[in-house]
Amino acid sequence: MTERRTVRIAMNGVTGRMGYRQHLVRSLLALREQGGLDLGDGTTLWPEPVLVGRRAHVLKAMADQHGLTEWSTDLDAVLADPGIDIYFDAQVTSAREEAIGKAITAGKHIYTEKPTATSLAGALGLARRAREAGVKHGVVQDKLFLPGLLKLKRLIDGGFFGRILSVRGEFGYWVFEGDWQPAQRPSWNYRREDGGGIVVDMFPHWEYVLHELFGRVTSVTAHTATHIPRRWDEHGEPYAATADDAAYGIFQLEGGAVAQINSSWAVRVNRDELVEFQVDGTEGSAVAGLRNCRVQHRSSTPKPVWNPDLPATVSFRAQWQEVPDNDVFDNGFKAQWELFLRHVVLDEPYRWDLLAGARGVQLAELGLRSCAEGRRLDVPEIAL
Ligand SMILES: NC(=O)c1ccc[n+]([C@@H]2O[C@H](COP(=O)([O-])OP(=O)(O)OC[C@H]3O[C@@H](n4cnc5c(N)ncnc54)[C@H](O)[C@@H]3O)[C@@H](O)[C@H]2O)c1
């Protein structure tokens, strides 16, 4: 028999897309379904979510549906409860900084969705305050835990690429305008005044993906666009889409590689997955998506000859080889939650913290400025 240790987690914004599906259902409830998190020392950690939000009836229904007993619309009261160990935030981005600030003051450990704040100053402020308060802190960097990117990391670690020359990322899909078919993303994502925009949403992801796999981003050149200027919201009302819905970015990386990533909510998918990264190196190339990764080694690289008079006789895609799983991959959000919980209770190392989160905010801020000023900007290294 192992001993059960309960960790109470205030989950704010748990009714949202990410809060509910990925963090509550696929992470913490999934952990409970497997009997808790086995810490390997005779203890099992049992996450006890306390649902926090603005609408009592929604929280109560959610709690009832999942056999949970604790929910509240009063964040201050929840934070005042000394029995709450961790504050988790998946609210709309614009509400995050203030709430996390309160949670730090209350002495809670912090786990949060990205972006951690709406400005670099705000993001760094949170990181500093958390450090001064001595609380543990973590920021969601889910893409690192995707099977496709884990396989890519395995290739890098195994020396498959030789010298990495370039990374080309293609992310995006068509987000419906909301008139004749409802939009599949919340309308605040398309209003700058509400914290929306694809740069603010996606550049934090690209920062940690590039940083962890290839090298720190040292400069950014970005062009953004609002391709669809009018959309329809959750109530069927038209609104002006004031935020960028596409971003075309070039990132120079420490170590010399260059990355170019297109991000768009106004593009139709002609790819195997919603995001794909092609990495070209002197010894081989790879294309990694969310789940899959295929490679072409130098030794099996064909020699195409440019001749527009002849039709293509071979399928270039067929010349790539699938990288095997060789492992069982858990949900990425859950995998990261587990590491964070171990960090909190066992003090295991954990590097995806509020400072790492601030780097993502920094890249988004500089990306927007690069576009506004029409020039490449250096990305200075930040520290606390
Ligand atoms: N890690 C990822 O891959 C990923 C993906 C999408 C979104 N996100 C992040 O997660 C956060 C939530 O995004 P989402 O897509 O789940 O959004 P959502 O609109 O579906 O959910 C937002 C949540 O915030 C709450 N909320 C609090 N104050 C609010 C206010 N003033 N107006 C509206 N809602 C308010 C809502 O009730 C809801 O629970 C964002 O910060 C976003 O950047 C991360």
Residue boundaries of the structural domains of the chain: 3-142+332-352, 143-330+362-377
135-157 pLDDT per residue, tens? 999 999 999 999 999 999 999 99
254-307 pLDDT per residue, tens? 999 999 999 999 999 999 999 999 999 999 999 999 999 999 999 999 999 999
Fold of domain 143-330+362-377: Dihydrodipicolinate Reductase; domain 2 (3.30.360)
Give the pLDDT score at 134. 98
Q: What separation in Å is there between the alpha carbon of 92 and the centre of ligand 1?
A: 4
In the structure, what pLDDT confidence band is assigned to residue 312 with cuts at 50, 70 and 90? confident
Q: Tell me the pTM.
A: 0.97
* Same CATH fold assignment for domains 3-142+332-352 and 143-330+362-377: no
pLDDT > 90? residue 160: yes
pLDDT > 90? residue 208: yes
Nearest CA to ligand 1 atom 24: 91
Q: Which helix (H) or strand (E) element contains residue 353? A: none
47 neighbors 28 (Cβ within 8 angstroms): yes
Q: Is 197 left (phi over 0), alpha (psi -120 to 50) or beta?
A: left
Burial (0-12, 13-18, 19+ Cβ within 10 Å), 116: buried
Q: What separation in Å is there between the alpha carbon of 116 and the centre of ligand 1?
A: 12
223 neighbors 248 (Cβ within 8 angstroms): yes
Q: What separation in Å is there between the alpha carbon of 300 and the centre of ligand 1?
A: 45
Residue ranges around ligand 1 (CB below 6 Å): 13, 15-19, 53-54, 90-93, 95, 113-114, 140, 142, 186, 201
Give the pLDDT score at 230. 98
The CATH architecture assigned to 3-142+332-352 reads 3-Layer(aba) Sandwich (3.40)
Between CA 128 and CA 135 the distance in angstroms is: 11
